[in-house]
Amino acid sequence: MFRALMQSSKPLAHSNMTTADDIIRAARGWIGTPFHHQGRVKGVGVDCIGLLVGIARELELTDDKGIFLADYDLPNYSPLPDGRGLKTAVSLHLLELPSIGEASRGDVYLFRFQQDPQHVGILSELADGAPGIIHCYSNTGKVVEHRLNDTWRKLIVAAYRFPNLQPDTT
């Protein structure tokens, strides 16, 4: 059911002209979507990986081979995903940045809650200029955007960028 609905969404932009601002705008469009493990439908249900898949689908993001990133989606994982598998999957399809400090708006953080990475979120910028994070967090029960505080910063293990993004003009 989720797969059929998710494929019907209309793209907001095309990958050859997508910017970090487009990523953030698309992510903010999911705010309030309820948490649903393996969900992929805006307004209905999504999890943290589903948020990335939904954004990739909306913006028609592709890898360097021209394959749509959303086509790599494999929503068969446990509620507590194998962190090594999550890191491997994210690393295969997004560009790992040399250091966490190089991340900028629209980039993806990989977070560790226990020993292994188990969560992803998108770096944003709040109205006051402070860094924020947009993610679907089971503890809040929905997609949220909030300040990237020291507690969250300590959980970051890696940073990634969607491939083929154009530089922002702002």
Cα–Cα dist 76/65, whole Å? 24
Counting Cβ atoms within 10 Å, is residue 69 exposed (0-12), middle (13-18) or buried (19+)?
buried
pLDDT tens for 5-54 read 333 344 444 446 899 999 999 999 999 999 999 999 999 999 999 999 99
Token reading at 11? 């793209």
**pTM score above 0.75:** yes
pLDDT tens for 106-146 read 999 999 988 888 899 999 999 999 999 999 998 999 999 99
